[in-house]
Amino acid sequence: MRGSATARTPAAHRRAVRAAGALVSAGLLLPLLGAAPSPPPSDAPDQASSVRLQGAFTAAAAEYKVPQSVLLGVSYLQSRWDAHGGAPSVTGGYGPMHLTDARTAIAAAPHHSEGKEDPRGDDSRGVLAPKAALPKDSQLPARLKTLPRAAELSGQSAERLRTDPAANVRGGAALLAAAQRKLGKPLSDDPADWYGAIARFSGADDQATAATYANDVFAVIHDGQSRTTDSGQHVALGAVSGLEPEPAQVRSMGLRKAPTGETECPSTVSCEWIPAPYEEFKDPQGNDDYGNHDLSDRPKTQRIDSIVIHDTEGRWEGVLKLVQDPTYVSWQYTLRSTDGHIAQHVKAKDVAWHAGNWYVNSKSIGLEHEGFLTAPDTWYTEAMYRSSARLVKYLSKKYRIPLDRQHIIGHDNVPGTLPSTIAGMHTDPGPYWDWQHYFTLMGKPFKRTAGPNGGLVTVAPEYAKNRPEYTGCVKPGDKCTPHGSAAVRVHTEPRDDAPLIKDIGLRPGGGDSTIGVNDTGARLSTGQQYAVADRQGDWTAVWYLGQKAWFKNPAKQPTAVDASGLVVTPKGDAKEIPVYGRAYPEKEAYPAGVPVQPVTPLPYKLLAGQKYATGGKVPGEYFYAPTFDTAPHKVVRGKDTYYEVQFGHRVAYVRAADVRVVPSGS
């Protein structure tokens, strides 16, 4: 993957940023975070193969009189030049230019309305259900219909635009040229003259997002980029310096000014305030109820120690209606796929209902990314990855949240609260979210940090080359489209045909784990750390769900790298210790009027001799908040403390009194 992230700001770019900031809002657009260009890899494809896509950019730029650097810069921000085998993105975007066809962007089930998980994750209330079904997708925005428009402009069929990368690039060039003409600008060979056309290409409906998108493209053009695509073609954009774009062009585009309100976002993203309602109402039985989040005063009352990454399983407009339903659920931020625009709904100090685990909800911030885990193949735009990375880095610094995979977690890493809730927990963002690229954008790529005796491994497969087989993306049992993946499977023995590790929480009857795309029972994920249990040839074993779990880790294409750190192991002569899905205080800590929450272990055991990577010590806490009136709300904090551990695919907790903490290599 790419090297460490950079945030360089040339003089010309600084001038553009200042102008855009004045246009939109003071200080909105500061230096942008990007990824440093990649040199051609040692196994780079032959020159003839590379010329095909590079040549397509050259030819399309000449045909439509669009500067090649503009065409390459826009495409990089959309797809990083990948074609994804003709599969649509999470918002129905195709090919290197991410030309959108809304018909592929529609799904039936919103993120929190399928499955058995209660998003709030606290039995002080009943399970939540939405007041009404999501709206039908009858009015589709222009940003989801760029492929049909490109077909009209270029004279190419929609099918060819979807499946032929060269045709797709031509369609993108036609759209950019049309946007330039609509702005009354000449088809200049100076990239700086194309600021407004680039902003329009984003499809954004507000000035701040359009300007942020254009600034991102110009940052790519200034820094240059170079990488080998998913089809094995090496594409390069040479750095272009000295550009002086005209951000004021955005003013003439008739875009709205999005209300920033009470947003808490870095100045390098476009952020809009669309509040989730805190309202009281009557439930279907006529009882007093409220939603869709709880007021609090974090971090004064409780530390915010994690960020949960979700995907929406629904389209932007419908998801925004969902989060504004007072009878349902909430999360802090939603990110849009096409242009990286961010909407904030709940203040960070307040507790949103999103993770299915009340302990996690009360100490986390939830980010929903527009997209679908499986339907039918999935990929996310570079624009959304970059916006999300900037937001997470900002929140991490503000709330002192470590930038690692035990604190920046997926919804699929959140543990069930009780044995009965494990099977119903959600599985997004799933195996196709590119954690390595995401953390590289935050300046924290996963890499080797120790020698072979470090005692830990960090999961770090090469995303594009790591293509485990999955089923169930479209129909149960049917094979999914081959796709790069951040996940690695674990077996009971060091051989490919050995059974997968069993998860007795997911299948109490002892059923086998599967290769289903939503089955997390035998799955490691990029960035997660595990204690090494054994090594044998190309295979490495780690401690996982109380078992020795083997995964293939060949030296020529490693799926994990050596690391070191702290691990926990049972204290004294204990043969086993319990594992928990929440870190609740002991019963003696609860004051009168606050119901004692049972400290119920999960069905797993941490056995003597086993070690598990720890994300640190956490207090035993329970946020009591069952009423609209906040007066009786209280944070109960006990004497018991816990350690968060990477126990399986999901994190878990063990009592500090039950374990000792030792260096991983000891």
Instruction: Name the token pair of 496.
Output: 């490919």
pLDDT of residue 36: 43
Is residue 104 predicted with pLDDT exceeding 70? Answer: no
- How many Cβ atoms from other residues are within 10 Å of residue 236's Cβ? 16
Is residue 4 predicted with pLDDT exceeding 90? Answer: no
Q: Which residues contact 465 (CB under 8 A, 6 or more apart)?
A: 484, 557
Least confident range from 106-110, 145-149, 289-293, 650-654: namely 106-110
pLDDT of residue 139: 67
Per the prediction, the chain carries an average pLDDT of 88
Is residue 134 predicted with pLDDT exceeding 90? Answer: no
Closest by CA to 396, choosing from 383, 384, 409, is 409
Give per-residue pLDDT as tens, 345-404. 999 999 999 999 999 999 999 999 998 887 656 788 999 999 999 999 999 999 999 999
Answer whether 440's CB lies under 8 Å from 35's CB. yes
| DSSP-based three-state secondary structure for 56 | helix
Beta bridge partners of 333: 344, 367
pLDDT of residue 428: 94
Answer whether 360's CB lies under 8 Å from 308's CB. yes
Selected residue with higher pLDDT from 471 and 8: 471
Domains, the chain, with CATH or none: 10-104+145-253 (1.10.530.10), 259-431 (3.40.80.10), 442-564 (no CATH), 569-663 (no CATH)
Angle at 34 between CA 251 and CA 464, to 5 degrees: 120
Alpha-carbon distance of 497 to 623, in angstroms, equals 46
Is residue 109 predicted with pLDDT exceeding 60? Answer: no
Kindly give the residue spans of alpha helices, DSSP state H, lying in 401-478: 435-441
- How many Cβ atoms from other residues are within 10 Å of residue 377's Cβ? 20
Selected residue with higher pLDDT from 129 and 379: 379
Mean of pLDDT values over 406-419: 97
Give the distance from CA 616 to its chain's centroid. 23
pLDDT of residue 297: 97
| DSSP-based three-state secondary structure for 533 | strand
Is residue 118 predicted with pLDDT exceeding 70? Answer: no
Closest by CA to 244, choosing from 18, 8, 65, is 18
DSSP string, 550-612: EEE--SSS-SEEEE--EEEEE-TT-SEEEEESS-PPPGGGPPTTSPPPP-PEEEEEEETT--E
Alpha-carbon distance of 22 to 16, in angstroms, equals 10
Is residue 295 predicted with pLDDT exceeding 60? Answer: yes
Mean of pLDDT values over 37-58: 60
Alpha-carbon distance of 67 to 85, in angstroms, equals 26
Mean of pLDDT values over 420-434: 95
Is residue 127 predicted with pLDDT exceeding 60? Answer: no
Alpha-carbon distance of 219 to 202, in angstroms, equals 15
Share of the chain above pLDDT 70, in %: 86
Mean of pLDDT values over 447-454: 96
Is residue 285 predicted with pLDDT exceeding 90? Answer: no
From residue 456, alpha-carbon distances to 495, 543, 615, 664 in Å are 21, 10, 13, 6
Answer whether 170's CB lies under 8 Å from 156's CB. yes
pLDDT of residue 377: 65
pLDDT of residue 132: 45
pLDDT of residue 38: 44
Selected residue with higher pLDDT from 285 and 71: 71
Is residue 279 predicted with pLDDT exceeding 80? Answer: yes
Give per-residue pLDDT as tens, 563-611. 999 999 999 999 999 999 999 999 999 999 999 999 999 999 999 999 9
pLDDT of residue 376: 55
pLDDT of residue 128: 58
Give per-residue pLDDT as tens, 219-255. 999 999 999 998 899 999 999 999 999 898 998 899 9
Helix then strand count (H, E) for the chain reads 12, 30
Read off the pTM.
0.90
pLDDT of residue 499: 98
pLDDT of residue 657: 98
Is residue 517 predicted with pLDDT exceeding 60? Answer: yes
pLDDT of residue 61: 98
Closest by CA to 208, choosing from 7, 12, 20, 18, is 20
Beta bridge partners of 566: 663
